[in-house]
Amino acid sequence: MIEPLILLIIGFVLLVRGADAFVDAAAGVARRFNIPAIIIGTTLVAIGTSAPEAAISIAAALKGSDGVSIGNVIGSNITNIFLILGITALIGALPIHKNTKKYELPFVGLVTLLLIGFGMWFGSVSRIAAFIFLAMFAGFITYTIIMARRSKEPEPEIRQFSIPMTIVMIVAGITAIVLGGDLIIDSAMDIATRVGVSDRVIGLTLVALGTSLPELAVCVAAALKREYDMAVGNIVGSNIFNILFVLGTAAAIHPLPFNPAFIFDGAIAMLAIIMLMIFTSRGAKLTRTAGIIFLISYAAYIFYLI
């Protein structure tokens, strides 16, 4: 049991470090071609934060582990709100931007309902559903670029590398992402077999938590520095990316059968969104009380699964 756990950890390290290297190199290339930094920050870098989930879901789909592929996305979305925002809100009350409350939260609710609807009615996330998700993803990217241009925040600094170093980083990043994804899927399935649980449960818990660790680290670090402003918006944006980009890409490559049990998990994901909307409806912040309720809800959900 120790060996697959060690391989799982190695896979996560390779995945995260590979994604970082690839995004840094890709952003440097984009900057070299005079693409505005604000567009890079809202596209390449944003997509890069979903690279771990994308690598896992695509690798799982290709290996026939559809439970991990869909479970990883739904589980990550539940983890992002209940666990990550719960922990971050305990450190300090989290402000929520007007656009996040008015547009992005309802939108993530809409795409979550679409995912549940496709699964219930068609029994899968088909290529048609994938193309719908990817078209909506393109629209969301356009929206984020427009909002970024209107904001008064400074443009992100994009580091440039030499051409040889850029090539090395891109190749090494892609290699690490592929190897890390394969290691995670193989070791996760090994753990599932040994423990006697389904790949759905592994995807919703162990794999989802692992792919959400970068978001957790970023949010906690920002909260400790009292830089709360973007925490809720980043988590909501990540949830949108997970469904539209990650599942859209995975299902475009290989249609994903939808286990009826995922209807319950999707309902929990919708519950998390509704609770976030309720707790921020009367004020501009997510309070510590809400954070405690989120953590209790997450613990209850994991207890139910296991």
Output the DSSP codes for 210-251.
HHHHHHHHHHHHHHHTT--TTHHHHHHHHHHHIIIIIIHHHH
Which pLDDT score, from 0 to 100, does residue 71 have? 87
Between CA 4 and CA 189 the distance in angstroms is: 9
Q: From 110, 120, 64, 61, select the one nearest 265 (Cα to Cα).
A: 120
Which pLDDT score, from 0 to 100, does residue 53 have? 76
Between CA 74 and CA 124 the distance in angstroms is: 14
Asked if 27 contacts 158 with a C-beta cutoff of 8 angstroms, the reply is yes
Q: From 18, 73, 67, 49, select the one nearest 216 (Cα to Cα).
A: 49
Which pLDDT score, from 0 to 100, does residue 37 have? 55
Enter the pTM of the model.
0.81
pLDDT tens profile 277-306: 988 887 677 888 999 999 999 999 999 987
Residue showing tokens 């970068």: 214
Which pLDDT score, from 0 to 100, does residue 183 have? 76
Q: Is the dihedral of CA 247, 33, 146, 97 positive or negative?
A: positive
Number of structural domains found in the chain: 1
Residue by residue, pLDDT tens for the chain (306 residues) are 677 778 777 877 777 777 677 767 776 776 676 666 555 655 665 566 667 777 777 777 777 776 778 888 999 899 999 998 999 888 887 777 777 788 888 999 999 999 999 999 888 899 999 999 999 999 988 887 777 677 665 555 666 677 788 778 878 877 877 777 677 777 777 777 777 777 788 778 878 877 777 777 767 766 776 665 566 777 888 899 889 988 998 888 888 888 888 999 999 999 999 999 988 887 677 888 999 999 999 999 999 987
Which pLDDT score, from 0 to 100, does residue 231 have? 67
Residue showing tokens 């193309």: 131
DSSP assignment of 33-77 equals: TT--HHHHHHTHHHHHHTHHHHHHHHHHHHTT-HHHHHHHHHHHH
Between CA 115 and CA 71 the distance in angstroms is: 12
Cα end-to-end distance, the chain, whole Å:
17
Range of the domain at 24: 2-305
For the chain, the farthest-separated pair of C-alpha atoms sits apart, in whole angstroms, at 53
CATH of the domain at 150: 1.20.1420.30
Which pLDDT score, from 0 to 100, does residue 86 have? 92
Eight-class DSSP state of 286? E
| Three-class secondary structure of residue 288 per DSSP | helix
Q: Is the dihedral of CA 186, 191, 192, 196 positive or negative?
A: positive
Note the Cα 151 to chain centre separation in Å: 24
Q: Is the dihedral of CA 235, 276, 205, 107 positive or negative?
A: negative
